[in-house]
Amino acid sequence: MLSQGFVSAAAIAASVLFILSLGGLSNQEKAKRAVWYGIVGMAVAVLFTAFGPGIGNYWLMIPMIVIGSVIGWKVAKQVAMTEMPQLVAALHSFVGLAAVFVAWNADLERRRVLAVQAVEGATEQFSAFAALVATKAPDELTFLQLEVVFAIFIGAVTFTGSVIAFGKLAGKVDGKAKQLPGGHMLNAGAAVLSLLLAILYLNGAGFWTLLVLAALAFFIGYHLIMGIGGADMPVVVSMLNSYSGWAAAAIGFTLSNDLLIVTGALVGSSGAILSYIMCKAMNRNFISVILGGFGGAQAGAAAEIEGEQVAIDAAGVAATLNNADSVVIVPGYGMAVAQAQNAVSELVRKLRSAGKEVRFAIHPVAGRLPGHMNVLLAEARVPYDIVMEMDEINDDFPKTDVAIVIGSNDIVNPAAQDDPNSPIAGMPVLEVWKSRVVFVCKRGQGTGYSGIENPLFYKENTRMLYGDARESIDSLLSLID
């Protein structure tokens, strides 16, 4: 059994490693090292917490850790890069549900301690947490109850919200925004009832208040995320990440665990900041995201699209590329689905060997998870210095000979600028249509994940290269001089 001082020192070390991990993730070249900081930090946190003072029941804890680790390892090994967004959403749900269970248990322990203390001469042996509760003053117990309420509410919202986000990302739940009759008034009513239950609980009502509170929060999480369209899931996943962090921090206060407080606060604040940045990138209101009204309502019918999509074959694309001096590639989720990143990397190598300027344009919400495209390109060993963010490259499209769009839709949709009634009106997009020629690699003529038609595909300077993205790029490789 380790001393509390030793455990506290380990908690500080783990916290520093977590901070270094987050800081390193902002730079692609340092990201791998940053991930290892996080892994080591978590290993230190689990190990020293498990063997800290007041911890027991190792006969149950160790098998659970082993079983959970094996399941996590097997799931992570089997999940493709295209499935990472839904895996992240699923993991957020576990954090939320854990917060609910821990909070329920904390209140049951509080009630047991108060019941024992009410019996004169009682000598019952308390658990480590119950012993901590037994030393608290009345005002500290009230604060504990507030922590329990917060953890249950945020944890329950995170759980069901993450489950629905997982379903939408995995295609198991309809990606369209749907709400029950009454819309946001149902969410508001459930929130008001939750507040009333919290007041009743703080004034001595029974454990049933926490059960009903959790049920209402489960509904709010479900209904909030069901009311958000599938195209907005990257922002939703980021916001749910923030919620899971705050739920963990609340449980840290409940358990008097400094490491859990620090870790939860880091996750909560970084998730909120990332969500805010992504909202700005999509011209959305941050508060609207939290309230489940992401995107708002359309002002009217979207504009009709005239013209037709003009197809081209690989030979035609290759001929244009051979005569081009500058090329910009815009990757999207379709590239991830086709696992075309290595073929794209080889195409880039051949084009650069021929003396052409080749760069990538990355939209902040490309893919279905922040940084999704950057990870795929790094995996394919694309040089970091040619991977440009939207703000860095948007002004260069008018000077670009060829823009190649691979599996993207909304992030290159000119309707965001031209059609005020479009669901993505006002969203900053990559202005690829300003290039001399645009080639779009796409499986067919259907709409993208959001279900929105893209006028780009009908423009005079756009040509459609239909087919699987990897096969299409592979067919180009042998035709590039």
> For position 231, what pLDDT does the model report?
62
pLDDT tens for residues 263-308?
Answer: 899 999 988 888 887 777 777 777 776 676 544 544 556 667 777 8
Contact partners, residue 449, CB within 8 Å, separation at least 6: 175, 230, 231, 333, 368, 409, 410
> For position 240, what pLDDT does the model report?
87
Q: Which of 107, 232, 410, 419 is catalytic?
A: 410
Cβ contact 210:148 at 8 Å: yes
pLDDT-above-90 percentage for the chain: 38
Here the tokens at position 1 are: 């059994």
* Chain position carrying tokens 């009513």: 189
The hierarchical CATH code for the domain 314-477 is 3.40.50.1220
Listed range (24-28, 161-165, 468-472) with the worst mean pLDDT: 24-28
- For residue 339, pLDDT over 90 is answered with no
> For position 300, what pLDDT does the model report?
56
Q: Sorting pLDDT into bands at 50, 70 and 90, what band is 394? A: very high
Mean of the per-residue pLDDT values for the chain?
85
pLDDT tens for residues 406-434?
Answer: 988 888 999 888 888 887 778 889 999 99
| Active-site residue flag, 107 | no
Number of C-beta neighbours around residue 202 at 10 A: 14
- For residue 148, pLDDT over 70 is answered with yes
Q: How far is CA 343 from the centre of its chain?
A: 27
* Chain position carrying tokens 């926490």: 210
pTM of the model: 0.80
pLDDT tens for residues 39-88?
Answer: 999 999 888 888 877 777 788 888 998 999 899 888 888 887 677 778 88
* Chain position carrying tokens 């160790």: 62
